Amino acid sequence: MAIRNVVLAILAVVVPGSQSPSPSPQVRRIVLEAERFAFSPSRIKLAPGEEIEIALRSADTAHGFEVEGTDIAVEIPKRGKGEVVVRFKASEVGRFRYECHRMCGAGHHFMHGEIVVEARE
């Protein structure tokens, strides 16, 4: 696999009732929900150089969220216990698979999606 320029950071865990920090005007916020062996959305598209903030929430039990080829690997707290926020920025076109890396039940192996970085026309 070719090495890609990826800039990312784990921001915070937010407890219930609190507000997550507002992203800067250049950062698009995406809420990604984990539930019953799926992520929604299962595909996130962005342009090279675009930075996104992903707010990870669970509608049921605790899940994992890991983006292959990066150092993003966090646990999503179970429903009602807050959210985890990560930032992702890729400077080159490519695909980054994400998956649940915490065993969460019989359909665990179905929990995956991708971040697609493509030039916009």
Q: What DSSP state is assigned to residue 92?
A: S
The percentage of residues in the chain with a pLDDT greater than 90, rounded to a whole number, is 61
Q: What DSSP state is assigned to residue 109?
A: G
- How crowded is residue 19: how many other Cβ atoms within 10 Å of its Cβ? 6
Of the candidate CATH numbers 2.60.40.420, 3.30.300.30, 2.40.50.140, 3.40.50.300, the domain formed by 6-117 belongs to 2.60.40.420
Confidence bin at 120 (pLDDT 50/70/90) = confident
- How crowded is residue 85: how many other Cβ atoms within 10 Å of its Cβ? 21
Q: What confidence tens digit (pLDDT) does each residue in 69-112 have? A: 999 999 999 999 999 999 999 888 999 999 998 877 777 777 89
Domain map (residue ranges) of the chain: 6-117
| Whole-number Å distance between alpha carbons of 90 and 87 | 10
Query: What predicted TM-score, i.e. pTM, was given to this entire model?
Result: 0.76
